[in-house]
Amino acid sequence: MSTESENLESLVNRRYEHGFVTDIEADSLPPGLNEDVVRAISARKNEPPFMLEWRLQAYRQWLEMKEPTWAHVHYPKIDYNEISYFSAPKSDEDRPKSLDEVDPKLLETYDKLGIPLHERARLAGVAVDAVFDSVSVATTFKEKLSEAGVIFCSFSEAVQDHPDLVQKYLGTVVPRRDNFFAALNAAVFSDGSFVYIPKGVRCPMELSTYFRINAANTGQFERTLIIAEEGSHVSYLEGCTAPMRDENQLHAAVVELVAMKDAEIKYSTVQNWYPGDENGVGGIYNFVTKRGDCRGANSKISWTQVETGSAITWKYPSCLLRGDNSVGEFYSVAVANNMQQADTGTKMIHIGRNTSSTIVSKGISAGRAENAYRGLVKVMPQAHGARNHTQCDSLLIGKECGAHTFPYMEIKNPSARIEHEATTSKISADQLFYCRQRGIAEEDAVNMIVNGFCKEVFKELPMEFAVEAQALLSVSLEGAVG
């Protein structure tokens, strides 16, 4: 082995920094899934009858569905009866009204993660709805938002306070039985975020949620619903990081976005769930359904994601371009190192007239990881004037990883203009030597090259997220170059 590859390996072997467990007693249901569990979840959350009914229908549909096997990922069979479907910090009954009331241990956890809630919120002007385990424990800037008429709260609160809105939009983008994991989520989802931007309102700040998984053996089933009424605008940031532990944990979230006429939703994610160790022990199974519905004319939904974590990622943030002139975007950086597996991409379904979509996917594979882009661009017969541009690049670091692209293009209208480009390359020894000859250390050179590779995606992220994403990328790839 050359010195160069040894160096790369040492880079890759840097430890996961966010691995620790906060010792808080969780109020959990015993493992197992049946109708009683679904009823218990709904009862604990004091949900109105329509929610229970919705959950039960989802559960019954889920029972008849099969776990999908088409993705380019492999994992041992999940026993859904070994998962506990509800856990919340003990203080659930008496939730803090302000940061002062928040359990200091929790705040400390966020500090360790580099998410100093109050500071970050104040400095960055961001309202943070922090989900610890499954229940929201702190929400800030609520007042400022409510002045603008924006509703930003936990899903549970929304069910209590805005049941009409929830009932109107829930499941209209990702139907209960959309897929196996979405159905499971619909039956047992614990909490999540709810955002409603009224007509003509430009959300005065970027909305942000940090998710964490804690409590052993606890599946996480968040559900997020964002509704942007006519002419409104919102930018939503989602970031995750999880503590280190050995059991695999299932995360099956659902995100639904609805953009009405002239509305715009920008949804950014930095995902850093625990990826497991170098040998593939532990790590999160991240099976997520994210979909945006450009319901009105001239609406726009933009997904940006930086996926560095999880043992397995199965995720295709998609856009239904129903409104005329609507725009869908997908910008993605997916890093898979060690034994990670990622099968991620997007679907752009062109339905309205003169719709356009852009896909930029940057996949980085290192170690023994498998990284696949899977995407669908579909132009329906009535979608006159559809445009798509797809750029799909893979960067390989090391000889034992895999990089795959599975793009599907189904074009049923002759006025469509579809362009798809893909490339695969590696960090060349020549590039590294060139940088080093200019005095730049190897590790920095690797970061520089990888960041250059991802540039088109990073520039779509909100500033503070972009910085975090770059840092995350270098941590994720430490030791990877060889």
Partner 1 sequence: MLEIKDLKSRIGDTEILRGLSLSVNAGEVHAIMGPNGSGKSTLAQVIAGHESHEVTGGTVTFDGQNLLELEPEERAREGIFLGFQYPVEIPGVNNAYLLKAAVNAKRKHNGLGEVDAFEFLKLAREKMATLDMDPKFLNRGVNEGFSGGEKKRNEILQMAMLEPRLAILDETDSGLDIDALKAVAKGVNALRSPERAIILVTHYQRLLDYVQPDYVHVLSQGEIVRSGDKSLALELEEKGYDWVREAASA
Partner 2 sequence: MKHAALSIDDLRDVVRRLPDNGLTPSREAALAHFHEHGLPTLRDEDWKYTDLSPVVNISNRWLTAGGPQLPHKSLRDTVDAITRSIDAHWLVIANGTVDDQFVNAITHRGIEVSRFSDAPAPFEMQRPLADLNAALLHDGLRLRITGSTDKPVGILVVDRAKSDAGVAQSCVDIQVEPGVSAEFIEYHVSDGDAEHYANSVLSMVVGERASVRHVRIQNRAIRHVQTSRTSVALGKDARLHMASYDLGGALIRNDLDIDLGKPGADVVFDGLYLAGDGQHIDNHTRVDHRVGPATSTQEYRGILNGNCRCVWNGKAIVHRGADGTDANQANHNLLLSEKAEIDAKPELEIYADDVKCSHGTTVGQLDETALFYLRSRGLDKRHATQVLTHAFAADIVLRSPVTAMTETITAIVEKRLAQLIEADFVSDVLS
Site residues, partner 1 (CB under 8 A): 2-4, 428-431, 433-442, 444, 448-449, 451-456
Does residue 417 bind partner 2 (CB under 8 A)? yes
Stretch that binds partner 2, among 26-34, 182-190, 200-208, 390-398 (CB under 8 A): 390-398
Q: Which does 76 bind (CB under 5 to 8 A by kind): partner 1, partner 2, none?
A: none
How many other C-beta atoms lie within 10 A of the C-beta of residue 147? 9
Does residue 406 bind partner 2 (CB under 8 A)? yes
Does residue 433 bind partner 2 (CB under 8 A)? no
Q: Which residues contact 423 (CB under 8 A, 6 or more apart)?
A: 392, 393, 394
Enter the tokens of residue 434. 């060139």
Stretch that binds partner 2, among 36-44, 255-263, 302-310, 416-424 (CB under 8 A): 416-424
Binding-residue total with partner 2 (CB under 8 A)? 34
CA dihedral 349, 223, 18, 369 (to 10 degrees): -40
133 Rama sector, left if φ>0, alpha if ψ -120 to 50, beta otherwise: left
* Total length of the chain: 482
Query: What is the rounded CA–CA span in Å between residue 19 and residue 418?
Result: 43
Helix (H) or strand (E) holding 342: strand 341-350
Does residue 419 bind partner 2 (CB under 8 A)? yes
Q: Which does 436 bind (CB under 5 to 8 A by kind): partner 2, partner 1, none?
A: partner 1
Nearest by Cα to 293 from 418, 195, 174, 154 = 174
Stretch that binds partner 2, among 19-27, 29-37, 139-147, 396-404 (CB under 8 A): 396-404
Contact 31, 217 (CB under 8 A): yes
Does residue 78 bind partner 2 (CB under 8 A)? no
Stretch that binds partner 2, among 225-233, 246-254, 294-302, 393-401 (CB under 8 A): 393-401
Nearer to partner 1, 232 or 405 (CB): 405
Q: Which of 65, 124, 422, 440 binds partner 2 (CB under 8 A)?
A: 422
Does residue 396 bind partner 2 (CB under 8 A)? yes
Distance of CA 167 to the CA centre of its chain: 24
Query: What is the rounded CA–CA span in Å between residue 40 and residue 206?
Result: 34
Q: Which of 398, 457, 460, 480 binds partner 2 (CB under 8 A)?
A: 398
- DSSP code, position 247: S
Paired strand residues for 265: 234, 301
Q: Which of 15, 412, 455, 459 binds partner 2 (CB under 8 A)?
A: 412
Which residues of the chain form contacts with partner 2 (CB under 8 A)? Answer: 70, 381, 394, 396-426
